[in-house]
Amino acid sequence: MAKQNEPLVTHIYTADPSAHVFEDKIYIYPSHDLDHDGEDNDDGDQYKMEDYHILSMDDVDAPCVDHGEALHMKDVPWVSGQMWAPDAAFKNGKYYLYFPARDKNGIFRLGVATSDRPEGPFKPEESFILGSFSIDPAVLVDDDDKAYIYFGGLWGGQLESWMTNNFTKDFVEPAADAPMVGPRVAELSDDMLSLKEIPQEILVVDEEGNPIKAGDEDKRYFEGPWMHKYNGKYYLSYSTGTTHYLVYAIGDSPKGPFTYKGKILDPVIGWTTHHSIVEFKGKWYLFYHDSSLSNGVNHLRCVKFRELKYNEDGTIIPMKPYEE
């Protein structure tokens, strides 16, 4: 049976969980960590993920089911490696799986695959989404049926190389007192297979309206964007990377700007933090990962979940990962 704050599955290593409620169940779309003896570096070569296994639970205290391999890189023509953190969406009577991977030139792009079932298997499009780049896609299908894709990751995620929406290896990171590099957002086409527009950078500001600075590593964006709505407001949450916090900002529009509000989760065992937030049967849950199952090996992680609660003013009550 699934238990809060314990690994959902232990027969494989899973990470980067994107949770959704489809067909009255919780479906989790994680990445799949593979064990290996390769190099560990800032390019992320330690993360050798090649396929996706989709998980589901009938309820939060029900067993977690692994539905098996839903998509493998060998079936995606444009991919050369590293199929990292995915997300999923439902629209037009279909399920869409969005995923990042390196193309044949070693540049991270975003791909999409479709299925008639939430657990797959998924059939990929022949090419990556034109105009897409970097990693960590997250999709919000809004109440008006418009869909938005959020993405981007620093360092190994190559986001700094796309400051002008054109790839360059010779980028210069912003100074510590300059605005942080924000995640990107673009509206998706009605068929969910392409971008309607050029991706734009999301602005995150403090309570005084000043942009969060690149050197503010407790608050700045690093990777793993997620978008959810609560009481009509848009909540952008993300990982700070080097300081290992999950934090969030609130806005009135799916494209921002967003005002930084605080931490969601303190650091976990392992280097990375990547999450999702979902409502199920009137309660809210945070899905996240750590490296407890592998005794701290950073590239071998396990997916967990715990209840998330709000204050009356809509702010999220911060949590420590190993305390109830």
What confidence tens digit (pLDDT) does each residue in 63-73 have? 999 999 999 99
Q: Among this protein's residues, is 142 annotated catalytic?
A: no
In a domain, 321, yes or no: no
Which backbone phi and psi does 291 adopt, to 5 degrees?
-110, 30
Measured CA to CA, the distance from residue 103 to residue 101 in angstroms comes to 6
Q: How many CB atoms lie within 10 A of CB 60?
A: 17
pLDDT in tens, 50-104: 999 999 999 999 999 999 999 999 999 999 999 999 999 999 999 999 999 999 9
pLDDT tens digits along 225-239: 999 999 999 999 999
Inter-residue contact 99 to 89 (CB < 8 Å)? no
**6 located within any domain:** no
Q: Is the pLDDT of residue 46 over 60?
A: no
Q: What is the pLDDT confidence band of residue 172, given thresholds at 50, 70 and 90?
A: confident
Which domain CATH number covers 38? 2.115.10.20
| 16 in catalytic set | yes
Convert 201-215 to b/e letters by CB count within 10 Å (16 or more is b). bbbbbeeeeebbbbe
β-bridge pairing 94-102 and 25-33: unpaired
Domain membership of residue 323 (yes or no) is no
* pLDDT (0 to 100) of residue 36: 58
pLDDT for res 40: 55
225 burial via Cβ count (<10 Å: 0-12, 13-18, 19+): buried
- DSSP class of 96: E
**DSSP one-letter code for 39:** -
Read off the pTM: 0.96
Residues 6+ apart with CB under 8 A from 37: none
Q: Do strands 283-290 and 276-280 pair parallel, antiparallel, or not at all (unpaired)? A: antiparallel
Q: Does residue 24 sit in helix, strand or coil? A: coil
- For the cut 70, the answer to whether the pLDDT of residue 47 exceeds it is no
Catalytic residue among 33, 136, 201, 223: 223
Report yes or no on 176 lying in a domain. Answer: yes
Query: Which residue is catalytic, options 16, 33, 119, 201?
Result: 16
Q: Looking at the predicted structure, is the pLDDT value of residue 324 above 80?
A: no
- Tell me which residue range forms the domain holding 91: 13-308
